[in-house]
Structure 1
Amino acid sequence: MAEDGEGSSQRLRSLKSRLIEILSADPDHVLQHADSLGLLTDQQYKQVKAVTDPSANIRDLLDNVTQKGDASSKIFLQLLKGNAMQETFPMLDCLCKLPETHNQSTAVFVLATAEKQRKREAAASEDVTPAKQASRGGPSLVEEKQLMKLARNIGTSWKEIGRLALDIGTVKLEQIEEDHPNSHRERVFAMLLCWRTSQRQEATAARLHALLCQDDWALPPDSIDFLLEPR
């Protein structure tokens, strides 16, 4: 691909369906980064953010970027190759393997090959459920029923706990609050699920307990000690 970004719009369009599938896991994260780079006008940002369906949200974002031309599309592609996106969406690592000049069939082939490789690796490794991990003697991943029980014990300071203890961004917390306007417990549960998803194999019950029992946001021991109980 030329330095001036020639062909970037077509390249982004050729990857559109696959990117929608990958980025829909956390569309707000992508939107905030795109907005910080000036890829959207204020009106476009509001319109995209107002879309509640994750897939449609990413679709509209991609459409806005590609319509702006090759320069904006190139910036967006570079964003997807950056650490912030690669860490949040590991499956984007296939973008780094794409050649600088290629047609649509090449892009689709590389992405499909990367996806097949991911599935082979997943099939080759044993599914590590909390029960299996515990049977191996390793730390057990926190379960949803534990998170729901914990959600009952977190009060109005849930956003502070989310930001300071769980390292969840303010924008994500506000989105969770908007998604669950009528149930405090569901808001807190969604926040805890977000933490578990982001931490992957490090989302153990013991680690969550450690995060919630320190500093100014520490919860009473009797409200979180059940996380340390063997299962």
Structure 2
Amino acid sequence: MAEEPAGVIQILRTQKAKLIEILSADADFVLQHADSRSLLSRSGYQQVKACHIPSEKVRDLLDNVIQRGPKAAQGLLELLKDQALQETFPMLSYVKDLQVNTLSSETLKRTKSAPGLQETIPSKRICNNGSHLVTEKQLMTVACAIGRSWREIGRQALDIRSVKLEEIEEDHSLHKERVFAMLRHWRNTQREKATATYLHSLLSQNDWALTSESIDFLLETD
């Protein structure tokens, strides 16, 4: 039986560090098998292939697959259970016993009947600390406030790799769209940590030519 859509992504996230440690022994082998199953987009494949550090290559591969959604994540989990990978990486044997420990189907069914809550289950819009995850509307407002220093902000404040910023720059011709894509990438990688207050703190750590008025709205509560 296939795992719950939200659950399979959660499995990959929680096991990410361990998978990087195991699969780094032969990152190219994993990449080729993942590509043979079309788990990566063309641009994603080229991005991962261009990385020469095994641990970073595996990290980028996992990130790319997770970002493509539950179907790709399920495909990767099945690949990790495949005999070829199990024989190449004996320490992967534990993957076959992993169980989804996220919301049950019954819980999801009840949630879908509650107005306004369907979207909050997979994305966990309210974090443990009570802060709301930053919304796309807020990201767009921030994007409008960020100027030419967007690459420096991406690298230094948001810890986004240069190759990803270059990919964003190639994919989007308009400045605002580039900055928005960068911020959305940050939110997707940070997941539950991507709160409005956390983004505000990152953007406030240095002089990025951002006025406090342009980002203080991130501290406002609903």
TM-score by length of 2: 0.58
C-alpha change, 1:14 and 1:198, in structure 2 (3 Å) is: closer
Within the candidate set 181, 200, 213, 2:191 is matched to 200
Matches for 1:68-83 after TM superposition, within 5 Å = 82-83=58-59
Aligned to 1:230, the other structure's residue is in SS state coil
2:216 maps to a residue whose letter is D
1:99 corresponds to 2:83: yes
Is 2:132 aligned against 1:140? yes
Q: Which amino acid aligns with 1:32?
A: A
* Aligned counterparts, 1:82-93, within 5 A: 82-83=58-59, 85-86=61-62, 89=65, 91=73, 92=76
Higher Cα Rg, which structure: 1
- Provide the aligned C-alpha RMSD in A: 4.2
Task: Find the counterpart in structure 1 of residue 36 from structure 2.
Answer: 16
Offset, 1:136: 7.9
Q: Specify the code of the residue in structure 2 equivalent to 1:176.
A: I
Listed as ranges, the gaps of 5+ residues in structure 1 are 38-77, 103-110
Structure-2 change in CA distance of 1:172 and 1:13 (3 Å): closer
Matched, 1:187 2:178: yes
Q: Deviations over 1:135-160 (max 9, x none)?
A: 98722111000000111100010001
Decide whether the 8 Å contact of 1:80 with 1:86 is kept in 2.
no
Q: Deviations over 1:18-70 (max 9, x none)?
A: xx23x23944531322xx27xxxxxxxxxxxxxxxxxxxxxxxxxxxxxxxxx
Helix, strand or coil for the counterpart of 2:137? helix
Say if 1:139 and 1:148 are closer, same or farther in 2 by CA, change over 3 A.
Answer: same
Gaps of 5+ in 2: 1-25, 67-72, 87-94, 109-117
Letter in 2 for 1:191: M
Indicate yes or no: 2:166 matched with 1:167.
no
Q: Superposition pairs for residues 35-74 of structure 1, below 5 Å?
A: 36=52
Structure 1's 133 and 197: CA in aligned 2 closer, same or farther, altered over 3 A? closer
TM-score by length of 1: 0.56
Matched residues, number: 168
Q: Distance in 2 between matches of 1:15 and 1:205?
A: 35
Q: 1:184 to 1:123 in 2, by over 3 A?
A: farther
- Give the percent of matched residue pairs that are identical in Structure 1 and Structure 2: 43
Q: Which amino acid aligns with 2:137?
A: K
Residue 5 of structure 2 is matched in structure 1 by none
Q: 1:226 to 1:27 in 2, by over 3 A?
A: farther
Contact 1:141–1:202 under 8 Å retained in 2: yes
> Among 206, 211, 215, which residue is 1:215 paired with?
206
Please name the residue that 2:221 is paired with: 230
Check whether the contact 2:48–2:60 (CA below 8 A) recurs between aligned residues: no
1:58 equivalent in structure 2:
none
Tell me the residue number matched to 1:129: 120
